[in-house]
Amino acid sequence: MVKVDGFNVPEGLYYSKEYEWAKVEGDKIRVGITDFAQKQLREIVYVEIPGTGTTIKQNEPYGTVESVKSVSDLVAPLSGTVEQVNQEVTGKPELLNEDPYNKGWLLIIKPSSMDELKNLMDAAKAAEWHQSLLKEAK
């Protein structure tokens, strides 16, 4: 686990610049939002995600997450078909704040191509990117 100014960036995951993570699980990908994203949003009160069988495309919105502060698009880190939805998160969106990398996952997809992983960052690159964002914000 890499920490960047209080934000967790677990190793073994892939990261997008849209603040989502992707975890390879055999021939499937588990997707969620990053610790950085949930801390920026603060208190998450609603999540809208597609149902099983929906096709999503890399870098395109597939749902929304709403906090007391704002509404943000969820942007797909990879293309594929939704195979499973975390129903617990839709009923208890605060799980995204409490445990974004475990209980707070959003979708499991069957990717169209694992080649799209090359468009994402590993933990080391994601940590560098987060540090650059924090420098820009100061």
Give the pLDDT score at 138. Answer: 63
- Give tens-digit pLDDT for 114-133: 999 999 999 999 999 988 88
Q: Is residue 11 part of a domain?
A: yes
Q: In total, how many domains does the chain have?
A: 1
DSSP annotation of 105: -
pLDDT tens-digit series, residues 19-55: 999 999 999 999 999 999 999 999 999 999 999 999 9
pLDDT in tens, 78-113: 999 999 999 999 999 999 999 999 999 999 999 999
Containing domain of residue 32, as a range?
2-119
Q: Is residue 56 part of a domain?
A: yes
Residue 128 lies in a domain: no
Residue 129 lies inside a defined structural domain of this protein: no
Q: How confident is the model at residue 136 (pLDDT cuts 50, 70, 90)?
A: confident
CATH number at residue 15: 2.40.50.100
Q: Report yes or no on 108 lying in a domain.
A: yes
Q: Which of 19, 132, 45 is nearest to 97 (CA)?
A: 45
Q: Does residue 124 lie within any of the structural domains?
A: no
133 inside domain: no
Q: Which two tokens stand for residue 20?
A: 């989502």
Sign of CA dihedral 90, 112, 17, 6: positive
d(CA 109, CA 121): 19
| Residue 130 counted as domain residue | no
